[in-house]
Amino acid sequence: MYMDKSLIDRFSSKRVLVLGDVMLDWYIRGESLRENPEAPVPLLDYQSQDYAPGGAANAACNIVGLGGKAILVGVTGNDEHKFTLIKKLQVQGIESHFTDADRPTTTKMRILAQGKYVARVDFEKRAPIDQQVEDRLLHSFENLRADAIIVSDYAKGAITQRVYNGAKEFARIRGIPLFVDPKPKSKVDYAGATVIKFNHKEACEVIGAPPDNGTMIVDIGPQLVAKYGSDIVVTRADKGVSVFPRTGGMTTIDTKARQIADVSGAGDTFLAALTLASVSGATLEQAVTLANHAAGIKVGKIGAVPVTAAELMKDLRHD
């Protein structure tokens, strides 16, 4: 499918509000040349560490990487990891509005040996935020200006039904599209979104079908459209991306073979590209095609590393 370069050029004029579960990704790297004498596990000789925005914060970073502007709203603890995250966001020019809560800043510590994952340690509290924190969170974005809103739900407690309803009302009043990256286990009803992006496992979970029972995607999509009244996009790994417009029908966009280094964060990249393309004038099918390319670039990178507009344009030309 032909993509005019001017479509990606228009990303720079778009401002996207990202609301959701913000995280800090913490990478500890080392070399493992021997076994731990205390237990049959690798013994890592420490080499370096670094940090990167994760979760909803990674979605915001991908908006910026692709040339747009991002405003990030979420919940953190009032701790050292929050301030590390803020510094990382400031470097990328991301405007952030964080509500402090009685919880740690969600942090995922990944331990790598010779560039491969050995273990992960999560610092988090997944209980839904209480009404007082909801009030502060809703107040933090009620007067912001945006061309679109992304709800990035990782089921860490920031996206409650009331917070989602506030985001939906924000979009309705301003006449802007609402894009959702859901987590079925959060039990939020995402009805009324413009586009909802599921992976295949999540799509099956929502309709109550085990992902390995042979349920056909052609049967899943219409049920999701009927449930939410939204355009539905289902990513299916090497089987491509299936698109179900609310007006009916189905289109599947193939995924070309890639060398996969790390799939973490690919969903954030996909949604960021889908949102920017949609508000820049692309059709749903064009936006999904472009987002598929962006996610394909991301899986070739280790860590939550944003995809750039230049990388995306190069990949589209090559294809």
The angle subtended at Cα 203 by Cα 166 and Cα 177, nearest 5°, is 35
CA nearest to 233, candidates 223, 242, 225: 242
Question: 134 by DSSP, 3-state: which?
Answer: helix
CA distance 13 to 56: 21
Question: Integer distance in angstroms from the first to the last C-alpha of the chain?
Answer: 9
Query: Residues with catalytic annotation?
Result: 268
CA distance 246 to 153: 22
CA distance 230 to 175: 16
Burial 85-105 (b: 16+ CB within 10 A, else e): bbebbeeeebebbbbebebbb
Residue written as token pair 């400031």? 90
Task: Please enumerate in sequence order all residues whose Cβ is within 8 A of that of 196, keeping only pairs 6 or more positions apart, or say none.
Answer: 179, 180, 182, 190, 224, 228, 230, 231, 232, 233
Residue written as token pair 């299916």? 236
Instruction: Record the tokens describing residue 196, joined without a space.
Output: 């909802």
